């Protein structure tokens, strides 16, 4: 059974606005590194935010491990979000906090409110965070403030924070768009490597087709909220790409 099934998903920004997603369906399997490509404004970000309901879908179903995400109450939603790590285009780190605290914030879903006020995380959490920071190559920057780091380093903190959740699925929202090409490749490679190591499937929306072709095993193409392509990377070709990106020329 696929870990994530999306069925006939429809989303809007405002109640009366136009549909951003027009009945999109797809499946993510346990070992997928799944790419969503398409021109900007195609609804990629909205789609990925519907999975953990940072954007509320209008209709359709999303099954995560067989459970319909769209029907969860707020408590169930929190525990779902805890199981889904997310990495953002603009990193979304807490600039004025240390790298360590940023990584530990990935544990908030597991930590009581009082403990989180005093930043009193469990020792095992701190150990885990340290190991992750070592793994992403930031062991020497643990005490630095997040805004002292370079873009690539900041995204590595973002990766560590997402993995801190012990996620069963990773959502990547344009993880490399804010980085230069060389760093982009390194970061993508790191994500892929760690996802394989921890056996976490990834759903990645990505603007750069070359990166998608290089790192992902499955691709769906979105154009103006409609799914134009769905299949393994090998089936993607120039002609289909042109079709997906046709709108962008206009």
With CB under 8 A as the rule, give the number of residues binding other proteins.
51
Counted residue by residue, the chain has a size of 250
Q: With binding defined as CB under 8 A, does residue 93 bind other proteins?
A: yes
Contact map string, positions 150 to 179, toward other proteins, x by CB under 8 A: --------x--x---x-----x--------
CB of 54 to other proteins, least distance (A): 6
Task: Give the separation between CA 170 and CA 203, rounded to whole angstroms.
Answer: 6
CA distances from 30 to 1, 27, 34, 162, 228 (A): 8, 10, 10, 18, 23
- Cβ-proximal residues to 222 (8 Å cutoff; 6+ apart), any chain: 24, 36, 37, 38, 42, 43, 44, 47, 228, 244
Helices and strands (DSSP H and E) totals, the chain = 10, 10
Q: What is the three-class DSSP state of 116?
A: helix
Task: Give the separation between CA 92 and CA 172, rounded to whole angstroms.
Answer: 12
CB of 91 to other proteins, least distance (A): 8
Q: With binding defined as CB under 8 A, does residue 141 bind other proteins?
A: no
List the interface residues with other proteins, window 188-247 (CB under 8 A).
197-198
Tell me which stretch binds other proteins (CB under 8 A): 13-21, 64-72, 87-95, 240-248.
87-95
> What is the residue whose two structure tokens read 């499946």?
27
Q: With binding defined as CB under 8 A, does residue 99 bind other proteins?
A: no
Task: Give the separation between CA 45 and CA 89, rounded to whole angstroms.
Answer: 10
Q: Nearer to other proteins by C-beta: 7 or 135?
A: 135
Q: What is the DSSP letter of 164?
A: T
CB atoms < 10 A from the CB of 201, how many? 19
CB atoms < 10 A from the CB of 82, how many? 18
List the interface residues with other proteins, window 39-68 (CB under 8 A).
52, 54
Q: Nearer to other proteins by C-beta: 94 or 247?
A: 94
Q: Among 94, 178, 192, 209, indicate the residue that binds other proteins (CB under 8 A).
A: 94
Q: With binding defined as CB under 8 A, does residue 108 bind other proteins?
A: yes
Q: With binding defined as CB under 8 A, does residue 84 bind other proteins?
A: yes
CB of 41 to other proteins, least distance (A): 19
CB of 235 to other proteins, least distance (A): 31
List the interface residues with other proteins, window 118-137 (CB under 8 A).
118-120, 123, 126-128, 130-132, 134-135
Instruction: Please report which residue ranges of 19-93 form alpha helices under DSSP H.
Output: 44-51, 74-83
**Which residues of this protein are in contact with other proteins, per CB under 8 A?**
52, 54, 78-86, 88, 90-97, 100, 105-109, 111, 113, 116-120, 123, 126-128, 130-132, 134-135, 139, 142-143, 158, 161, 165, 171, 197-198
């Amino acid at each position: 059974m696929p870990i994530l099934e999306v069925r006939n998903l429809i989303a809007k920004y405002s109640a009366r606005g136009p549909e951003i997603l027009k009945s999109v369906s797809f499946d993510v399997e346990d070992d997928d590194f799944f790419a969503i490509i398409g021109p900007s404004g195609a609804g990629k970000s909205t789609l990925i935010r519907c999975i953990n309901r940072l954007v509320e879908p209008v209709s359709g179903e999303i099954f995560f491990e067989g459970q319909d995400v769209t029907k969860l109450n707020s408590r169930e939603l929190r525990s779902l979000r805890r199981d889904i790590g997310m990495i953002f285009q603009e990193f979304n780190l807490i600039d004025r906090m240390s790298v360590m605290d940023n990584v530990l914030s990935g544990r908030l879903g597991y930590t009581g409110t009082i403990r989180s006020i005093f930043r009193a995380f469990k020792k095992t959490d701190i150990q885990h965070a340290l190991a992750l920071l070592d793994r992403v190559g930031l062991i020497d920057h643990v005490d630095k403030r997040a805004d002292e780091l370079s873009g690539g380093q900041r995204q590595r903190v973002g990766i560590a924070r997402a993995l801190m959740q012990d996620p069963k699925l990773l959502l990547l929202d344009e993880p490399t768009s804010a980085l230069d090409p060389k760093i982009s490749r390194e970061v993508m490679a790191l994500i892929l490597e760690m996802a394989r190591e921890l056996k976490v499937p990834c759903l990645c929306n990505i603007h750069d087709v070359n990166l998608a072709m290089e790192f992902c095993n499955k691709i769906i193409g979105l154009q103006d909220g409609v799914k134009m392509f769905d299949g393994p990377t090998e089936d993607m070709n120039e002609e289909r790409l042109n079709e997906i990106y046709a709108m962008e020329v206009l």
